[in-house]
Amino acid sequence: MKYSPLQTERYTYKPKLPKILREQIHSVVPVLGSPTEAETDREKLKSLFPHTYGMPVVSFEKGENKKVGKKCNVGVVLSGGQAPGGHNVIAGLYDALKASNPESKLIGFLGGPSGILDDSYKELSSEDIEEYRNTGGFDIINSGRTKIETEEQYARCAEVCRNRSIDALVIIGGDDSNTNAAVLAEYFRNIGEDIAVIGVPKTIDGDLKNKYIEVSFGFDTATKTYAELIGNIQRDANSARKYWHFIKLMGRSASHICLECALQTQPTAALISEEVAEKKQTLSDIVDYLADIVTERSRKGYDFGVVLVPEGLIEFIPEMHDLISEINDLLARKQEEFSRIEQDEQKADWVAGELVGHRKEAFLSLPAEIQQQLLADRDPHGNVQVSRIETEKLLIRMVEQRLKKLKAEGTYSGKFSHQSHFFGYEGRCAFPSNFDADYCYSLGYNAFMLASSGLTGYISSIGNLSAPADQWQPGGIPITMMMNIERRHGEDKPVIKKALVELKGKPFSLFSSNRETWAKENCFIFPGAIQYFGPPSVCDQPTRTLTLEHE
């Protein structure tokens, strides 16, 4: 067997394009709006992007396009973690490019941005594209995490693109990669190199989003996959009535995944990092909150439930954030001394001895294995690897301790049996949902339309996504327009602002106005597996977040 039955069938799926992009490719022209501005830091951004700041928003309309038919070479690169639909971005790009001129070529740089620097590439053939249509993963050309952000790297990019006669570069990535795409576009303009750079918004985390980008691709499929599993576990909890399941969900910077999954499944509880930070909750506050729910449910005979925990939670708890910074500092300062300690427990003892005040307290309040996780694997910069911290187990352990105390006090008499789960890799490479298959294909097709019009420093944008695909609005947004200046590693940097969960937004409001009921009663919803065929009510719906934000 080579392909699964689903993969075989998905090859026949024809992704839906916005209406205007269904026209003959030579009959679609870009329309330039008025000059744009960033929301903040305008002068600074203008000075950093003299050639590409203030460009107009682009849309498309019918008309004769004389540029699009020119023979050209387009390079494409996948940057960062996998997200469902990446292959369809490339397929859409390929189809537009070949429709415009069959002699044009699509060059895939291999293994992420380092593929450009290493001049490692392959020309994508029709067979390559057919093999990957509507499939998950980034394996067509693979991805990587190298960032192109130094002057030397930009020069090397120019050299490689020149040697390969590349006219446009499409960078599929998250906020950082799109920021770097804008800087590269400016660099090319500045040195007079006529290479367009177009970004495509990718990340399952959903944090590359703003007034102009309604959602990054992959968020739809990943959250639906996690919601399937959460729903199945809820059904199990509701049937067996004896386990508390603590489920950690990928998404380190923002809690969009956790919030969307909560809206889809109505769990017993879900933590939202942004709220924790906003309310300056301590770990102890969170443990109290959960222990209260466990206690109250236990009185009704509900010794079970499902709790969703965002991966990045711990960094949003102010005391833990401080503790982690302090440990990072401490271990950098006293690296040698620390490295001489062999036993894990002795390491923890040593660190406890070095810390003072609240931080010492916070550290000592943690279970031994979490203390050790904070000190064990360190990233290449010597920092705590937050993603390795088993926050779901930390919470279980601490809730357990709290309940023991309540039991001793006579206010709790239930049974707290538990299971923990972490879902991340399970959803990043699923077959893209119809939404992501259509959206990604449109993003790729649209990226070519922008590049072939000689536009650069734009992000491919498809708007009105909560409507059916034929009503979607393709266009281009100048990346500089979405930027602001942030302090990073002691330097002022132009960056696309990460979209955190808005506590005043509709998705969070809907969640927060219902969560008390969900905690008390069993309001579980069971979304089931993503469906690719069948009734549109099941297989063609966008996420709750997208729908609520655009109601």
Shortest reach from residue 204's CB to a copy of itself, in Å: 11
Which 49-88 residues touch a copy of itself, going by CB under 8 A?
81-82
Residue closer to a copy of itself (CB basis): 129 or 429:
429
Which 2-41 residues touch a copy of itself, going by CB under 8 A?
2-10
- Binding test (CB under 8 A) with a copy of itself, winner from 419, 473, 484, 547: 419
Residue closer to a copy of itself (CB basis): 485 or 510:
510
Residue closer to a copy of itself (CB basis): 124 or 479:
124
Residues 6+ apart with CB under 8 A from 275: 281, 501, 503, 508, 512
By the rule CB under 8 A, 245 interacts with a copy of itself: yes
- Binding test (CB under 8 A) with a copy of itself, winner from 231, 251, 494, 507: 231
The span from the CA of 424 to the CA of 1, in Å, is 27
Q: 159-198 mask for a copy of itself (x: CB under 8 A)?
A: ----------------------------------------
The span from the CA of 387 to the CA of 249, in Å, is 11
The span from the CA of 214 to the CA of 221, in Å, is 15
DSSP string of 413-429, one letter each residue: -----EEEEEESTTTTT
The span from the CA of 442 to the CA of 445, in Å, is 5
Q: Which two tokens stand for residue 519?
A: 């905690």
Shortest reach from residue 530's CB to a copy of itself, in Å: 5
- Binding test (CB under 8 A) with a copy of itself, winner from 236, 275, 303, 390: 236
The span from the CA of 230 to the CA of 423, in Å, is 9
Distances (CA, A) of 499 to 209, 211, 502, 538: 6, 10, 8, 28
Distance of CA 56 to the CA centre of its chain: 27
Shortest reach from residue 220's CB to a copy of itself, in Å: 13
Which 516-535 residues touch a copy of itself, going by CB under 8 A?
525-535
Shortest reach from residue 506's CB to a copy of itself, in Å: 15
Cβ atoms 546, 465 nearer than 8 A: yes
The span from the CA of 163 to the CA of 77, in Å, is 17
- Binding test (CB under 8 A) with a copy of itself, winner from 284, 506, 539, 550: 539
4 burial (CB, 10 Å; 0-12 / 13-18 / 19+) is exposed
Distances (CA, A) of 71 to 66, 89, 270, 471: 12, 20, 52, 30
Q: Which two tokens stand for residue 82?
A: 């996998």
By the rule CB under 8 A, 241 interacts with a copy of itself: yes
Cβ atoms 179, 483 nearer than 8 A: yes
Residue closer to a copy of itself (CB basis): 289 or 526:
526
Shortest reach from residue 137's CB to a copy of itself, in Å: 4
Residue closer to a copy of itself (CB basis): 9 or 361:
9
By the rule CB under 8 A, 277 interacts with a copy of itself: no
Does the annotation mark 288 as catalytic?
no
By the rule CB under 8 A, 264 interacts with a copy of itself: yes
By the rule CB under 8 A, 512 interacts with a copy of itself: no
Label the pairing between strands 473-478 and 58-62. antiparallel
Shortest reach from residue 358's CB to a copy of itself, in Å: 28
Residue closer to a copy of itself (CB basis): 65 or 143:
143
Reading across the β-sheet that carries 305-310, which strands appear in turn? 269-270, 305-310, 244-249, 418-423
By the rule CB under 8 A, 365 interacts with a copy of itself: no
Task: Specify the stretch interacting with a copy of itself by CB under 8 A; choose among 1-9, 268-276, 283-291, 347-355.
Answer: 1-9
Task: Specify the stretch interacting with a copy of itself by CB under 8 A; choose among 121-129, 139-147, 274-282, 483-491.
Answer: 139-147
Residue with tokens 């077959």: 431
- Binding test (CB under 8 A) with a copy of itself, winner from 138, 302, 350, 416: 138
By the rule CB under 8 A, 397 interacts with a copy of itself: no
Cβ atoms 115, 143 nearer than 8 A: no
| Residue of 205, 207, 220, 438 marked catalytic | 205
- Binding test (CB under 8 A) with a copy of itself, winner from 210, 401, 484, 541: 541
Phi/psi of residue 526, each to 5°?
-115, 95
DSSP string of 68-127, one letter each residue: TTS--EEEEEEESS--TTHHHHHHHHHHHHHHH-TT-EEEEETTSTHHHHTT-EEEPPHH
Shortest reach from residue 316's CB to a copy of itself, in Å: 24
Shortest reach from residue 115's CB to a copy of itself, in Å: 13
The span from the CA of 79 to the CA of 436, in Å, is 18
- The residues carrying an active-site annotation are 205
Write out the residues near a copy of itself by the rule CB under 8 A.
1-10, 81-82, 111, 135-139, 142-143, 225, 228-229, 231-233, 235-236, 238-241, 243, 245, 264, 266, 419, 421, 425-431, 525-535, 537-539, 541
